[in-house]
Amino acid sequence: MTTTLSASTGKPASGSIGDETAIHDLGYRRYDGARIGASGAWRALYWQGFRSMFGFGRTAKAKILPAFVLLATLLPALGVLAAASASQGGLAIRYGPLIQAQLILFALFIAAQAPELISRDQQHRILPLILTREVTRTSYASARLAALVSAQFLIALAPLLLLYIGEIGVANDPSAAFEKMGSRIWPVLAQASLVSIALGGIGAALASWTSRRAYATASIIGSLLVATAIATGLDDLAGVSARTSEFIDPIRTMRTMAFILFDEKTRSMELDPPASVWLYAGVLLSLGVAGAGVLHLRLRRLVP
Amino acid sequence: MGANGAGKSTLVKILLGLVEPSSGSATLLGHDVVRDRAGIRQLVGYMPEHDCLPPDMSATEFVTWLARCSGLPAGASRERAAEVLRHVGLFEERYRPMGGYSTGMAQRVKLAQALVHDPRLLILDEPTNGLDPAGRDEMLALIQRTGTEFGMSVLVSSHLLGELERICDGFVLIDNGRLVRAERLGALTEETATLVVEVDGDAAIFATQLVALGVTAQSERHRVLVQLPAGGDDIALRLTYDAVRDTAVAQHVGVLKIERRRGHLEDLFQ
Amino acid sequence: MSEPVSTPANERNARDTVTDGGRAAESVALVFDHVSHWYGDVVAVNDISCTVSAGITGLLGPNGAGKSTLLQLAAGLLTPTNGSVRVYGESPTVGPAVYRRVALVPEREALPAVMSARAFVSARAELLGVRDVPFAVERALALVELDTVADRRVGGFSKGMRQRVKLAAALVHEPSLVLLDEPFNGLDPRQRLHMMRLLEDRAAAGTAVLLSSHILEEIEGVASRILVMLAGRLAASGDYRTLRRLMTDQPHTVRIRSSDDRLLASALMQVPTVIGVEVGAAGLMVRATDYASFAREVAPVAQRSSLTLYEVEATDESLEHVFAYLVAR
């Protein structure tokens, strides 16, 4: 409510508003405008989180890692495209090996950024400020997870999309190429989604357990390394088939799935054919869902 | 108010919906705290005691974002944030990252984010923590203005009883998880039947002289405590006051204070 | 006018500081002699000279005035850029001999989260060469009322409990100079009162306490002297009531309620030190140039006019007013 002391000029009310002489009270004012409720709050949480995944809204240093990961995944793709165009479309473009190299970078991205999204809120103790607003624990968890997963999706999609479009573009006959591999877009999308869901779930779950970002990052990388170690151990020492042991190691699961999706094979896959792609997809999806579950559970228990 | 560990912060967390009560119920502005959580969220503003400002965000970004988290549309959030930051007295500083803020600025931002969505109830936890005397005065004045001018209820938790006495109309005292007292401040701080007298001389001698005149009095350190006659007898009352005056004249001492003692919140903790 | 209470300790110190430099210096707890301290280009403490003796001295000032730096210089954690700091005649940076007599309770300090309160205080006691460590530790913990939770990890303590650990660690070796930087932060009213009384007892027994605080109403009751710092300089020192009298450009305002205010007003206007009287609903507001002499005139004037005095109170004598005046100058 602004109270305005004003002197009437005695003129009729046809004068413009600026005519009166007045001292305005600039004190506190009420807000009687629109309120969009929980959905607006969710969007605000999501967008702030999504932007901070790429370092926006934070210091310049925060932009370094995302930029590095993007570059490190895009450049090889560009390189492959350059080679393919030099050979006039004769050299087949293989997605599998490229993705295999990228997965490590994606793990790095998640390990670095999931804590920024989830541990940092705990460290700076802003949860009481958020949870007393139009944000429930569940919607907070889902907004943060969505930001993490969609950021990772973008990063995973970019090089693949580049390859896909580039492959069509460098071919001698683009329209024929498009007909031949138009349907390749689905593997591209599937690969990107499943990778981001799985890694996002793992990252979010582990980050929610500690408020110290360094510990969270270490635990994410550590868990993936331990998984690799176990899978390798089973492989080499226990003589378990590679096809079985790779389900222990999410990175390997994603790698094999990539090869299957793009109809490519590694030597070990030729010797020991993998199961249906749906199994791999199912495993990765479950990982993501389990991670989301852990995140929700952890946030429910937290007393800010 | 309450001793550390008495349950104040737990009570506040229950009211804010951060913790569920094991039993019993509470209503906030007509809404049940557990069952109708959604209805309460935009009505309550909370200023925590602890540090809670991300160091690499600016005050404007932070308060705008929190306004949106309270359900305000994006444009309105920006305006409200600007408005409320001005109200708490943050000007050019609001565009700088909060990591470099002084305690005074940080406390103002915390208050601003509690106000940005125009709540009906403000809960403030140790709002003057870390502020120097000038900063405390300003914060208390700010709280008082915000509370009294626009029908906003304010709940202040503090260990500094002096400032609570200055700005509060009522109090709630908790001890060991139980309610001890909850009443208007006026009842506690009203005048008692004891008169406090301070003179520019020996208090003990002054008290002795008063007693000789038939007045009930004793000295306590540098003050003299005079018992005023009860029962609303105006004449007896006047005689007592005059005895004090006359003794001062007879003793050739300066009168520094004559004041009826009032109750203080501090008395509740003795 | 209430004089600062004169105790044997006060008198002894007053005597000692008057005698020759060498012997006198040893018995004064803390002496700053034209001390300055710079952090790069920023001067935190600027040419400060003062002494702190037995009793409670309040250290006041706005945030950023340099109080924490002053306390650290006194504790020997910093070496002054200019000037000298002397604790019982020696520089506090000299070593353990001085450390044993001094304690600092800093405002910020990370306590090792994995240690128990008892372990932390014991470690300090051992490092300071206390003779009967378990006994001293038990006594210190009991003083701050942490004896029941002494074996719990400090990491799980609330803010108030961590403050008390710091206080126990500071008092375990029975120092004769105690330096405190906002020591009661996080303590509830009863705990504040308890700790303040503790300091008062120590001070009465001869300990020199230098206490930095923003809570002026608390300091007012206990500090016999105050030091006010502004932007690194010493703005004022001494008893605050005496300081008030030195504020000669600020007339004193006294509120008086009587049986006939207007009559009293005209009678008071005859008093030479009165420069103005305002008649209001709450009584008279009398402005006088000399508080002490006005105070002596009030009762006689009222008696001569047969007026009853119901209320007499000075409205701008408090430490808060003195402080605000100094800061605004």
Chain-centroid distance, C-alpha C5:
15
Packing angle of the helix pair B59-69, B103-115 (nearest 10 deg) = 20
Chain C contact for B241 (CB, 8 A cutoff): yes
Distance from CA of B45 to the nearest CA of A (A): 8
ipTM of model over 0.90: no
A218 domain residue, yes or no: yes
Is A221:A111 a contact under the CB 8 Å cutoff?
A: yes
What's the pLDDT at A13? 45
Q: Contact C255/C315 with Cβ under 8 angstroms?
A: yes
Q: B242 and C311 in contact by Cβ < 8 A?
A: no
Q: What is the average per-residue pLDDT within B19-36?
A: 90
Q: Which residues pair with B105 in a beta bridge?
A: none
Q: Would you tell me which residues 218-257 of chain C have a C-beta closer than 8 angstroms to some C-beta of chain B?
A: none
- For β-strands B217-220 and B223-227, DSSP reports them as antiparallel
Per-residue pLDDT, B116:
94
Q: How many helices (H) and strands (E) does chain B have?
A: 10, 11
Size of interface A-B (CB pairs under 8 A): 112
Structural domain of residue A166, as residue ranges? 37-301
Smallest Cβ–Cβ distance between B71 and the set A38, A124, A128 belongs to A38
Which of B206, B243, B237, B239 lies closest to B221 in space, CA to CA? B206
Question: Mean pLDDT in chain B?
Answer: 91
Read off the pLDDT of residues A9-44 as tens digits, 9 standing for 90 and up.
444 444 445 566 666 656 677 888 888 888 999 999
pLDDT of residue C20: 43
Distance from CA of A91 to the nearest CA of B (A): 48
Rounded to an integer, the average pLDDT of C165-172 is 94
Measured CA to CA in angstroms, residue C163 lies from B18, B126, C105, C183 at distances of 27, 16, 9, 7
Q: Which residues of C touch B242 (CB under 8 A)?
A: 308
In order of A159, B251, C208, C209, the CA distances from C205 in angstroms are: 77, 34, 9, 11
Q: What is the mean pLDDT of residues B68-92?
A: 92
Q: How far is A153 from chain B (nearest CA, A)?
A: 25
Closest partner CB to B70 (pick from A29, A41, A62): A41
Is C64 an 8 Å CB contact of chain B? yes
Provide the pLDDT for residue A11. 45
Which of the residue ranges A118-122, A232-236, C85-89 would you say has the lowest mean pLDDT?
A232-236
Least confident of A36-45, A156-165, A231-240: A231-240
CA distances from B142 to B31, B64, B155, B227 (A): 28, 21, 14, 39
* Averaged pLDDT score across all residues of chain C: 88
The answer to whether the CB of B157 falls within 8 A of the CB of B65 is no
Tokens representing A186 are 């689905």
Confidence of residue C14 (pLDDT cuts 50, 70, 90): very low
For residues B181-200, average pLDDT: 89
Chains C and A touch each other (3 or more Cβ pairs < 8 A): no
Residue A4 above 60 pLDDT? no
Please judge whether C302 and B245 are an interchain contact, meaning their C-beta atoms are less than 8 angstroms apart. yes
Quick check: B72 contacting A, CB < 8 Å?
A: yes
Contacts with A18 (C-beta within 8 Å, 6 or more apart), sequence order: none
Residue C22 in this model has a pLDDT that exceeds 70 = no
Task: Determine the Cα–Cα distance for residues B177 and B22; give it in Å rounded to an integer.
Answer: 13
Structural domain B190-269, CATH architecture: 2-Layer Sandwich (3.30)
Q: How far is B127 from chain C (nearest CA, A)?
A: 12
Mutate to test the interface with B, among A133, A140, A300, A303 (most CBs of B within 10 A): A133
Question: C214 vs B136: CB contact, 8 Å cut-off?
Answer: yes
Which has the closest alpha carbon to C188: B175, B138, A304, B104?
B175
Name residue A20's amino acid.
Answer: E
Q: Is B1 on the interface with C (CB under 8 A)?
A: yes
Q: Minimal Cα distance from B252: which residue of C?
A: C296
C-alpha–C-alpha distance, residues A157 and B251, integer Å: 95
B87–A31 C-beta distance less than 8 A: no
SS (H, E, C) C48-115: EEEEECCEEEEEECCCCCCHHHHHHHHHCCCCCCEEEEEECCECCCCCHHHHCCEEEECCCCCCCCCC
The owner of tokens 């208007």 is B184
CB-CB neighbors (< 8 A) of B54 in chain A:
120, 124, 126
Residues of C in contact with B5 (CB under 8 A): 158
Q: Are B186 and B204 contacting, i.e. CB atoms less than 8 angstroms apart?
A: no
Nearest CA in chain B to A28: B87
Q: What is the pLDDT of residue C4?
A: 45
User: How far B181 CA sits from the closest chain A CA (Å)?
Assistant: 27
Segment A271-284 shows an average pLDDT of: 85
Could you give the strand order of the β-sheet that contains B121-125, starting from the edge strand earlier in sequence?
B44-47, B121-125, B153-157
Beta-strand relationship, B44-47 and B121-125: parallel
* Nearest Cα residue to C214 out of B102, B136, B106: B136
Amino acid code (one letter) for C311: E
CA dihedral C162, C163, C164, C170 (to 10 degrees): 110
Per-residue pLDDT at A232: 86
Q: Is C193 left (phi over 0), alpha (psi -120 to 50) or beta?
A: alpha
pLDDT in the model for residue B46: 96
pLDDT of residue C10: 46
- Res. C6 pLDDT band, cuts 50 70 90: very low
> In the structure, what pLDDT confidence band is assigned to residue B232 with cuts at 50, 70 and 90?
confident
Question: Model confidence at A169, in pLDDT bands (50, 70, 90)?
Answer: confident
pLDDT, tens digit (0-9, with 9 covering 90-100), for C169-219? 999 999 999 999 999 988 999 999 999 999 999 999 999 999 999 999 999
Amino acid type, C139 = R
Residue A78 or residue A85, greater confidence = A78
Q: What is the number of structural domains in chain A?
A: 1
Measure the N-to-C terminal CA separation of chain C; round to a whole number of Å: 25
Task: Report d(CA A130, CA A117) in Å as an integer.
Answer: 14
Distances in Å between the alpha carbon of B108 and those of B122, B142, C56, C61?
Answer: 14, 10, 33, 20
Closest CA–CA distance from residue B88 to any residue of chain A (Å)? 9
Helix (H) / strand (E) element for C210: namely strand C208-212
Contact C214 B133 (CB under 8 A): yes
User: Which residues of chain C are within 8 Å of residue B241 when distances are taken between CB atoms?
Assistant: 308-310
| Contact present, B and C (at least 3 Cβ pairs less than 8 Å) | yes
Q: Give dist(CA B19, CA A132) in Å, integer.
A: 11
Q: Percent helix, strand and coil across chain B, each rounded to 5?
A: 45, 20, 35
Please state, in angstroms and rounded to a whole number, the distance separating the CA atoms of residues C194 and B56.
40
Check CB contact under 8 Å for A41 and B13: no
Is residue A2 very low, low, confident or very high in pLDDT (cuts 50, 70, 90)? very low
Residues 77-136 of B with CB under 8 A from C: 102-104, 129-136
CB contact under 8 A, B69 and A131: no
Of A58, A125, A135, the CB nearest to B69: A135
Is any Cβ of chain C less than 8 angstroms from the Cβ of B213? no
Q: For residue B68, is pLDDT > 50?
A: yes
Size of interface B-C (CB pairs under 8 A): 113
Which residues are bridge partners to A166 per DSSP? Answer: none
pLDDT value, residue A20? 63
> Does any CB of chain B come closer than 8 Å to the CB of residue C301?
no
Task: Please give the Cα distance from A3 to A15 (Å, whole number).
Answer: 20
**More confident site: C98 or C12:** C98
Contact between residue C141 and residue C168 where contact means Cβ atoms under 8 Å apart: yes
Residue A266 pLDDT exceeds 90: no
pLDDT at residue number C23: 44
What pLDDT, in 10s, does the model give residues C127-143? 998 999 999 999 999 99
Segment B132-155 shows an average pLDDT of 87
**Are A126 and B149 inside 8 Å of each other by CB?**
no
Scanning B140-199 for CB atoms below 8 A from A yields 145-146, 149-150
What percent of chain B has a predicted confidence (pLDDT) above 90? 67
Tokens of C216: 């002026």
Could you read off the pLDDT of B250-267 as tens digits, one per residue? Answer: 999 999 999 999 989 988
Task: Give the list of residues 6+ apart from residue A238 with CB closer than 8 angstroms, or none.
Answer: none
Is C309 a residue whose pLDDT tops 90? yes
Q: What is the dihedral of CA B28, B32, B35, B39, to 10 degrees?
A: -50
C245-328 folds as Alpha-Beta Plaits (3.30.70)
Distance CA A202, CA A215 (A): 15
Q: What is the pLDDT of residue A18?
A: 55
Which one, of B84, B78, B72, lies nearest residue B116 by Cα? B84
CATH topology of domain B8-186: Rossmann fold (3.40.50)
How confident is the model at residue B192, as a pLDDT? 87
Dihedral sign of CA atoms A116, A119, A121, A123 in order: negative
Q: Is residue A23 part of a domain?
A: no
* In the block, residue with structure tokens 């002894």: C12
**Residues of B whose CB is below 8 A from A24:** none
Task: Report the pLDDT value the prediction gives residue A168, as an integer from 0 to 100.
Answer: 77
Percent of chain A with pLDDT over 70: 86
The pLDDT value recorded for residue C3 is 41
The region of weakest confidence among A12-16, A113-117, B229-233 is: A12-16
C187 and C160 in contact (C-beta within 8 Å)? yes
Is residue B99 scored above 50 in pLDDT? yes
For helices C117-127 and C133-143, the axis angle rounded to 10 degrees is: 130
CATH superfamily of domain region C8-239: P-loop containing nucleotide triphosphate hydrolases (3.40.50.300)
- Which single residue is written with the structure tokens 């709050």? A41
* Mean pLDDT, chain A, whole residue set: 84
Asked if B173 and B1 touch (Cβ cutoff 8 Å), the reply is: yes
Contact by Cβ (8 Å): A287, A202? yes
Q: Is the pLDDT of residue C16 over 60?
A: no
Q: A194-212 burial, b for 16+ CB within 10 Å, e for fewer?
A: bbbbbbbbbbbbbbbebbe
Residue A29 falls within a domain, yes or no?
Answer: no
Q: B260 and C303 in contact by Cβ < 8 A? A: no
Q: What is the pLDDT of residue A180?
A: 66
H/E element holding C309? strand C309-314
- Report how far residue C232's alpha carbon sits from residue C147's, in angstroms, rounded to the nearest whole number: 39
pLDDT at A70: 92
Q: Residue written as tokens 């119901």? A: C310
DSSP label of C20: -
Question: Is the pLDDT score of B189 beyond 90?
Answer: no
In DSSP notation, C147-208 reads GGGTTSBGGG--HHHHHHHHHHHHHTT--SEEEEESTTTT--HHHHHHHHHHHHHHHHTT-E
Q: How many CB atoms lie within 10 A of CB B35?
A: 10
Of A57-66, A144-153, C1-10, C311-320, the least confident = C1-10
Number of Cβ within a 10 Å radius of residue A50: 21
Q: Has residue A19 been placed in a domain?
A: no
What's the pLDDT band for C11 if we cut at 50, 70, 90?
very low
The 8-class DSSP code of residue C116 comes to B
Residue ranges per structural domain of chain C: 8-239, 245-328
State the Cα torsion B72-B78-B84-B86 to the nearest 10°.
-170
Query: What is d(CA A136, CA A42) in angstroms, rounded to the nearest whole number?
Result: 9
pLDDT > 90? residue B70: yes
